[in-house]
Structure 1
Amino acid sequence: MDDEGRRWPHCLLAGAVFVVCMAGTTLPTPLYPLYQQKFGFSELTVTVVYAVYAFGVMGVLLLAGNASDAVGRRPALLWGLGFAAASAGCFLAADNTGLLYAGRLLSGLSAGLFTGAATAYVMELAPPGGAARATFVATAANMGGLGCGPLLAGLLAEYAPEPLLLPYAVHLGLVAASAVVLLRLPETVTDRQPLSTVRPQRPALPPGVRAVFLPAATASFVGFALFGVFTSVSPAFLARSLHVDDHAVSGLVVALAFFASTGGQLAVDRVGVPRSLPLGCAVLFTGLLLLAAAIHTDLLVLVVLAALVGGVGQGLAFRAALAGVAAAAPADRRAAVISTLFVVAYTGISIPVIGVGLLADPLGLEGAGLVFIASMLLLVAAAAVYLLRRPLPARRA
C-alpha cells in the first residue's frame, strides 16, 4: 500500500482515539443519580462535580493549548490519554466526593489537550484533497465521542453488574488500546520543540473582531450552557419527575443531543456560515422552549425533542461562530481569538450549571431549570436580533 493509501486508515484511527478520549468525559452522566444515592449529596454537588471538568479544559486551553504545535501531536495526545486513564482510576476508587472532583478535573485536562491537538492531527493525517472529509471525521469524532460516553455508561449500568465500576474499567481498557494505536501512527509535526517553549495563551480580542465576536460568543455560551445543564441534571429530572429509572434511556437521551450537534455542524456546509449563526440561534431558541415545555408537562417525548432540536441548534451556532470568528481575526492573532471563544463557551458549561445547582434547593429542580431557560432565551434572542440588525463584516485574510 502506497503512502496515500495508508493515510485514510491513519486518519480514521486517529479519529477513533479521539472518540475514546471524548467518551470518557461524559461517561459519568447517567451515573450521577447513583452517586447521589451512594454519597447522599445535593443537586448543587452534582453540578459542581460536572462543572469542574470545564475548569480543567479552560486551564489547559489557556496554559498549554498550543503544546502540540511545539512538542508534537502524539506526545500531547499521549499525555491526554494519561489524564483520561488517571480520571478513570479516580472513579474506580471513588469512596468520597473528593475523588469525583479529581476524576472530573483530570477528565477536563484530557479533553483540553485533545480538543485542538486531535482535531489538527486528524486533518494532517488525511491525504491531499481530503480536508473536507477529514473535517467531518474530526467533528464526528469530537461530538460523537461525547455522545458515546453516556450511551455506553447507561447500557452497562442498566444491563451489567457493578454500574459504578464496569463503565470505567471498560473505558480504561479502551484508553490502553488507544495508546497502542497512537504509538503506531506517524507524527505530523516535523519541527518539534522542547516543552519549555510552550507559553500560556492570553485571551485576545482585537477591535476589528468585536462585532463578529459578540453574537458568536453569546450563541456559543448559550449552546454550551444548554449542553452543560442537560448532561448534568437531566438524569435526575428523568428519574424524579418522569419516573424513568432506566439508566440506558437516560444515557440515550443525553447522547441524542451530542449526535444531533454533529448533524448541526455538518449542515453548516450546506447552509453557509453567514446564515448558520442566526439559524442556529433560532433553533437553539426553539430547543430551549421545548425543554421548558418538557419541564412543565413532564413528558418524555418533549425531553427527547429538546435534546434533538437543542443539539442541532448548538451544532449550527458553534461551528458557524468558530468559522466566523476565525475568518474575521487577523492571521497573527487567530489562535488567541479562537482560544478566547473556547473560554467563553466552556464558561457556559460551568457557571450556569452551578447556578442551577444553587437554585435547585430553594426552587426545586424544575424551578431552577425554568429560571435557567428564561435567562438563556434572553441571551440567544439578543444575539439573534443583533445578527439580523447588523450583518457580519466581510471576510479577512
Structure 2
Amino acid sequence: MTTALQPSATGTKTRPVAGWRQVSLAMFAVAWGGNQFTPLLSMYRAESAFSEVTVNVLLFAYVVGLVPSLLASPAVATRFGGKKPLAAAVSLSALGSLLLMAGASAPALMFLARTLSGVALGLGMVVGGLALKALAVAAAERTAPGARQPSAARTSAMGLTAGFGLGAGLAGIVAQWLPLPTLLPYVLHLAVCTAAGVGMFRFRPAGHRHDGGGQHAPRSSFSREYLLAVLPAAPLIFGALGIAYAVLPSVVAAQLGGFSTAFSALLCLLCLGLGFAAQRVVAHLSARRRVPARMLGVVLFVAGTALAVAAATGQSVGLVVLAAAVFGIGYGLTLIGCLQDCDRLALPGQLGPMTSLVYSLAYIGFGLPTAIAWLHESFGFRHTSMLAWIAAIAAAANLTGALAAKARRP
C-alpha cells in the first residue's frame, strides 16, 4: 500500500492526506480475501480430493458475486458514500474466510464463501477507488494551484496489488509448511480484516461528493477511445494472473513433488510483486508521456502467453517462472493504465460506471483458467493450442481497437 503525501504551497511534503490509509487498508483487506484462495488449489486437490474442474470453479466462484457488486457499486457509493460500503465490504470478506474455514470439504459452502468474497471485493475496488478520488480532490482544494497531488488511480492499483500479492503468498506459505492448512491461512486474513475494520470506524470521509454516477451517469456517451481501446484490454488484467498462477503450475505439476502449494505461492508473490513495482514506476513514465502503460501491458500479456506455450511444450519450470514474471509486469501496467484512462476520459458522473465496467471485464478474464481446465478435461484440448489462441485473440482485439480509436479521434 501507499500513502499519499499532501504537498504544501512551497512544494514541501506535509502530513498524509486524511483518510488515505484507512481506505487503502480496507481495499488491501478485501483484495487479500479475494486472492488468498488461489495458491491453495493444489492443497484442496490433495486434502479434499477435489477435481481440477472443481477447484477452478471455486477459484472463479467469487466472480458470481463480484460482477453484480461491481456494477451496483457506483450507485451504492452515490447513495451511502464511502464509509458504510467499505465497512460492509471488510465484514463480508471476513465472513467469507470464516465460511472457508468451516467448509473445507463442502464445495457448496465454499462456493458461497467465495461468492461473498467477490461481493466484498467489488464494493472495495469501486467504492474505495471513488473514496480515494474524493480525498484527492479535497486535498487539491486545500493546496496551491499546480501543487503535485496524489494519484487515486495509482494508489488504488497499488493497494489492491499489495493485498492480492501478500494474501496469496502468505496463505500458500502457511498452507505448505504449517499445520492445519485449511484453517490457518484464513486466520491471517481475519487479523487483517480486524485492523481494516478499526480503520473504517475511525475513517472520516472527504467532504467532496463521490463521483459514483448512479442512475444519472451518461453511460451512452462513453468516449470511443474508452470503448474501442480501453475495454478490450480489461480482460487481460486478471487473465494474466489467472494463467500465471492457476494454469502454469498445473503444466509442470509432475516436477514439483510435494511443493506445488509453495510453488503456486511463489508465482503469486512474483507476479504481484513485479506488478506492484511496475505500478510505482509507471507514474513517472506516464508523466513524461513516454510509455502508454495500457498498451505496453497488452504487449507483455501476449509475450507472457508465448512463453507459457513454450513452458507447456517443454515442461520447463524455469520458463514457467519467466512467463509468470512477464505476466506480472503486464498485469500491473494494464491495470494502472486502464484506471488512468478511466480517470482521463470520464465525464462528470462517469468515473464510477467506467471503472466498474473495466473491473467486471477484468474478472471475466480471470475465468480463463476455468475455461482452459474444462476444455482440457472434457475435450482433450491441449494447453499449448488454447494459450496460442488466447494470445492471438488478445493481440488482434487490442490492435484493431487501438487503430479504430485513433482513426476516429478528432
In the superposition, the TM-score normalised over structure 2's length comes to 0.83
Structure 2 CA distance for aligned equivalents of residues 344 and 203 of structure 1: 19
* Residues 157 and 338 (structure 1), Cα distance of their counterparts in 2 relative to 1, 3 Å cut: closer
* Residues 200 and 89 (structure 1), Cα distance of their counterparts in 2 relative to 1, 3 Å cut: farther
For 2:234, give the aligned amino acid: S
- SS of the aligned residue for 1:132 comes to coil
Structure 1 CA distance for aligned equivalents of residues 52 and 38 of structure 2: 13
Structure 2 CA distance for aligned equivalents of residues 317 and 304 of structure 1: 20
- The 8 Å contact of residues 64 and 115 in structure 2, kept in 1 or not, is answered as yes
- The 8 Å contact of residues 176 and 259 in structure 2, kept in 1 or not, is answered as no
Which among 103, 106, 119 is matched to residue 116 of structure 2? 106
Deviation (angstroms), 1:201: 8.9
* Residues 12 and 356 (structure 1), Cα distance of their counterparts in 2 relative to 1, 3 Å cut: same
* Residues 106 and 238 (structure 1), Cα distance of their counterparts in 2 relative to 1, 3 Å cut: farther
Give the number of equivalent residue pairs: 387
Structure 1 CA distance for aligned equivalents of residues 173 and 50 of structure 2: 24
How far does the alpha carbon of each residue in 1:209-253 deviate from its partner, in whole angstroms, 9 at most, with x for none?
345423322222133222223343444445335436153332021
Which among 115, 118, 126 is matched to residue 116 of structure 1? 126
- The 8 Å contact of residues 282 and 313 in structure 1, kept in 2 or not, is answered as yes
Of residues 5-14 and 146-155 in structure 1, the stretch that sits farther from structure 2 once superposed is 5-14
Q: Which residue of 1 aligns with 2:169?
A: 151
- The 8 Å contact of residues 235 and 363 in structure 2, kept in 1 or not, is answered as yes
- The 8 Å contact of residues 25 and 108 in structure 1, kept in 2 or not, is answered as yes
Q: Where in structure 1 are there 5+ consecutive unaligned residues?
A: none
Q: Which residue of 1 aligns with 2:143?
A: none
- The 8 Å contact of residues 148 and 255 in structure 1, kept in 2 or not, is answered as yes
- The 8 Å contact of residues 154 and 336 in structure 2, kept in 1 or not, is answered as no
Structure 2 CA distance for aligned equivalents of residues 386 and 243 of structure 1: 44
Are residues 1:80 and 2:72 paired?
Answer: no
- The 8 Å contact of residues 84 and 110 in structure 1, kept in 2 or not, is answered as yes
- The 8 Å contact of residues 63 and 200 in structure 1, kept in 2 or not, is answered as no
- The 8 Å contact of residues 228 and 353 in structure 1, kept in 2 or not, is answered as yes
Of residues 336-345 and 128-137 in structure 1, the stretch that sits farther from structure 2 once superposed is 128-137
Deviation (angstroms), 1:52: 1.4
Deviation (angstroms), 1:170: 2.0
- The 8 Å contact of residues 61 and 115 in structure 2, kept in 1 or not, is answered as yes
Q: Which residue of 1 aligns with 2:293?
A: 276
Q: Where in structure 2 are there 5+ consecutive unaligned residues?
A: 1-5, 9-13, 141-146
How far does the alpha carbon of each residue in 1:24-57 deviate from its partner, in whole angstroms, 9 at most, with x for none?
1111112111212233222111221111112211
Q: CA RMSD in A?
A: 3.2
Structure 2 CA distance for aligned equivalents of residues 203 and 354 of structure 1: 34
- SS of the aligned residue for 1:131 comes to coil
* Residues 323 and 11 (structure 1), Cα distance of their counterparts in 2 relative to 1, 3 Å cut: closer
* Residues 358 and 202 (structure 1), Cα distance of their counterparts in 2 relative to 1, 3 Å cut: farther
- SS of the aligned residue for 1:347 comes to helix
How far does the alpha carbon of each residue in 1:349-396 deviate from its partner, in whole angstroms, 9 at most, with x for none?
22x3331121231466xx543243122211222135326644637989
Structure 1 CA distance for aligned equivalents of residues 357 and 403 of structure 2: 24
Are residues 1:66 and 2:75 paired?
Answer: yes
Q: Which residue of 1 aligns with 2:383?
A: 369
| Larger fraction in helix | 1
Structure 2 CA distance for aligned equivalents of residues 377 and 285 of structure 1: 5
Q: Which residue of 2 aligns with 1:343?
A: 360
Of residues 62-71 and 280-289 in structure 1, the stretch that sits farther from structure 2 once superposed is 62-71
For 2:178, give the aligned amino acid: A
Are residues 1:317 and 2:314 paired?
Answer: no
- SS of the aligned residue for 2:234 comes to helix
Identity %: 24
Structure 1 CA distance for aligned equivalents of residues 215 and 255 of structure 2: 45
* Residues 117 and 212 (structure 1), Cα distance of their counterparts in 2 relative to 1, 3 Å cut: closer
* Residues 49 and 93 (structure 1), Cα distance of their counterparts in 2 relative to 1, 3 Å cut: same
Structure 1 CA distance for aligned equivalents of residues 217 and 269 of structure 2: 33
- The 8 Å contact of residues 147 and 255 in structure 1, kept in 2 or not, is answered as yes
Q: Which residue of 2 aligns with 1:33?
A: 42
Structure 1 CA distance for aligned equivalents of residues 132 and 148 of structure 2: 11
Which among 170, 195, 211 is matched to residue 177 of structure 1? 195
Which among 367, 375, 385 is matched to residue 359 of structure 1? 375
